[in-house]
């Protein structure tokens, strides 16, 4: 897994970020979602290197081997603004002041925050199986609340930690055949760590509080994503059925959004890596 990639721990002001990086050429950052780590990209990253890109895969703050500060009552220690700042600093440490972004699931929320807060750093951005938080929350339906109940469960104090840590293997599942044995082992080690579980829950607590407030402030200020944006979603997941055309929704936030669905379940980097790279490579190359 990640043959010919280097890995290192980058120590920042209030966090330590584990990162894998390899290849040469235009830099692109791959941001994973919940409850995965950077290893979820193990099938995609080498293919992008073969396409001529320099690929960087960090564990988000608190996920996998990365560590952030202790949680704060207002959840700002794990908000997307803080996590996006980690990514910018890591890329500077690696010698990149400008780069492309690909964010899946929660990583897509980090990508949105990064491109809004640091537009000068981002050349292009791809959002995979995600929408801005407010696009989920404001048109709330029973169907969304039922299907995505975990958002609201994870936001509760203390109880989710006790439930998940009692049997994380059962809670999170995971199939080593579809994920890949090494990726599955890394994922399994992460979700068995109570520190990681707490940080992942803080991600969701921040999402329903401070992150949502940041998005509302952006919208009031008329802030938009001005670089080219690619929107991808899994045809065998429920994003489109719950919310309608994801490209239409992203066009409320971006001046140049386009995209399409991919024949995959939610974890498209593991389940449909060649289709995902096929969609990404031309976009990242400016075609």
Residues 6+ apart with CB under 8 A from 266: 105, 129, 234, 237
3-class DSSP string for 72-134: CCCCHHHCHHHHHHHHHHHHHHCCCCCEEEEEECHHHHHHHHHHHHCHHHEEEEEEECCCCHH
From the DSSP assignment, how many helices (H) and strands (E) are in the chain?
A: 16, 8
114 contacts 92 by C-beta, under 8 angstroms: no
Domain count, the chain: 1
What confidence category does residue 286 fall into, taking pLDDT thresholds of 50, 70 and 90? confident
77 contacts 69 by C-beta, under 8 angstroms: yes
- Look up residue 121 and give its DSSP letter: G
Strands 54-58 and 27-31: parallel
Round to whole Å and give the CA distance between 279 and 231: 10
Task: List the beta bridge partners of residue 286.
Answer: none
pLDDT number for residue 59: 98
What angle in degrees, to the nearest 10, is found between the helix axes of 159-166 and 194-206? Answer: 140
User: In this structure, how many other beta carbons lie within 10 angstroms of the beta carbon of residue 148?
Assistant: 13
pLDDT number for residue 131: 98
Q: Is residue 1 part of a domain?
A: no
pLDDT number for residue 219: 95
| CA nearest to 256, candidates 231, 228, 283 | 228
pLDDT in tens, 105-139: 999 999 999 999 999 999 999 999 999 999 999 99
Whether 170 has a pLDDT exceeding 80, the answer reads: yes
Q: Is residue 184 part of a domain?
A: yes
Q: Which residue matches tokens 């001529």?
A: 52
Whether 287 has a pLDDT exceeding 80, the answer reads: no
Round to whole Å and give the CA distance between 3 and 240: 35
Q: Is residue 218 part of a domain?
A: yes
Q: Is residue 108 part of a domain?
A: yes
Instruction: Give percent above pLDDT 70 in the chain.
Output: 100
Q: Is the dihedral of CA 82, 87, 89, 90 positive or negative?
A: positive
Half-sphere exposure at residue 280, Cβ-oriented, CA atoms within 13 angstroms = 31
Domain of residue 186 covers 6-284
Q: Is residue 202 part of a domain?
A: yes
pLDDT in tens, 61-94: 999 999 999 999 999 999 999 999 999 999 999 9
pTM of the model: 0.97
Q: What's the average model confidence in pLDDT over 34-39?
A: 98
pLDDT in tens, 218-253: 999 999 999 999 999 999 999 999 999 999 999 999
Q: Is the dihedral of CA 267, 273, 275, 276 positive or negative?
A: positive
- Look up residue 67 and give its DSSP letter: B
Looking at every residue in the chain, the average pLDDT score rounds to 97
**Residues acting as catalytic residues:** 105, 266
Instruction: Give percent above pLDDT 90 in the chain.
Output: 99
Q: Which residue matches tokens 């700002």?
A: 76
Q: Which CATH number belongs to the domain containing residue 207 in this structure?
A: 3.40.50.1820
């Amino acid at each position: 897994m990640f043959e010919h990639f280097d890995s290192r721990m980058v120590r920042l002001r209030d966090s330590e970020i584990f990162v894998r990086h390899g290849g040469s050429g235009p830099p692109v950052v791959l941001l994973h979602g919940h409850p995965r780590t950077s290893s979820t990209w193990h099938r995609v990253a080498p293919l992008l290197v073969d396409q001529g890109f320099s690929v960087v895969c960090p564990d988000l703050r608190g996920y996998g081997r990365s560590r952030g500060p202790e949680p704060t009552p207002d959840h700002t220690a794990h908000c997307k603004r803080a996590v996006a700042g980690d990514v910018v600093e890591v890329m500077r440490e690696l010698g990149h002041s400008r780069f492309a972004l690909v964010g899946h699931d929660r990583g897509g929320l980090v990508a949105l925050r990064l491109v809004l807060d640091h537009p000068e750093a981002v050349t292009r951005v791809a959002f995979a199986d995600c929408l801005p938080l407010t696009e989920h929350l404001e048109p709330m339906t029973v169907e969304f609340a039922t299907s995505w109940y975990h958002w609201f469960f994870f936001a509760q104090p203390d109880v989710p930690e006790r439930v998940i840590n009692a049997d994380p293997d059962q809670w999170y599942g995971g199939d080593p055949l579809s994920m890949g044995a090494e990726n599955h082992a890394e994922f399994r080690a992460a979700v068995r760590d109570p520190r990681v579980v707490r940080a992942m829950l803080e991600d969701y607590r921040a999402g329903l509080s401070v992150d949502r407030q940041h998005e509302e402030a952006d919208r009031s200020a008329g802030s938009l994503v001005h670089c080219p944006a690619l929107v991808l979603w899994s045809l065998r997941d429920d994003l489109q059925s719950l919310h309608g055309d994801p490209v239409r929704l992203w066009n409320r936030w971006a001046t140049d959004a386009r995209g399409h669905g991919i024949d995959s379940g939610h974890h498209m980097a593991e389940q449909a890596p060649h289709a995902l790279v096929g969609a990404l490579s031309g976009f990242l190359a400016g075609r």
